[in-house]
Amino acid sequence: MQNSKGKYFDFDKECRKAGLKVTLQRQEIFEELRLSTDHPSAEALHERLRIKLPNLALDTVYRTLTTFANKGLINRVETAESLGRYEAIHSRHHHLICRRCGEIKDFTWSLLDEASLPDNVGNWGRIDSKNIVIYGLCDKCLNNS
C-alpha cells in the first residue's frame, strides 16, 4: 500500500493526516489488518508479520494498534475472551461469536440500525454505538461436538 494511488485507502496520507509518522512497521501492521477478516489480536498480527518483519516487537504492535484506534484509523472490538481484538474499519455491522472456537462473524442488520431505541432507555446520555453481540456455537463447532 505504500505507493498505492488511493486504490483502496491511502494509508500514508491518512497516517500523516492523523499526525503520525509513516514507518514500515505501521504500514505493514495496517496492511495485515486490512487483509485479515478474522479480527486478529495483537499477538496474532505479530505472529503473522514475523516472516515479513522478523525484528518487529510485540509491544510495537500493541502500541501501534492503540495509536491507530485512538486516531480512528481502526476499530477496537470487545470479544468473548475479554481480549482486545482489532479490525480494519468497514461498514456498520454486528457480531456472531462462537463460544467454542472464538471465531467472530460479522453480519449487517440495517433494520436494527435504523430502529429507534425503546422508551425505557430514556435520556441516558449520548449514544455512540449500538451493536448486537450474538453468542452461540458456529456450524463447524456444532458438527464437531
Closer Cβ to a copy of itself, 56 or 65, answer by number: 65
Task: State yes or no: residue 137 binds a copy of itself (CB under 8 A).
Answer: yes
First to last CA, the chain: 42
Q: Which is nearer to DNA, 12 or 106 (CB)?
A: 12
In 29-101, DSSP assigns E strands to 74-77, 85-88, 94-98
In degrees and rounded to multiples of 5, residue 27 shows phi and psi of: -60, -50
Residues from 16 through 45 that contact DNA (CB under 7 A): 16, 20-26, 41-43
Q: How many residues bind a copy of itself (CB under 8 A)?
A: 41
Q: Which residues pair with 77 in a beta bridge?
A: 85
Residue ranges that bind DNA, judged by CB under 7 A: 16, 20-26, 41-43, 53, 55-60, 62-64, 66-67, 82-84
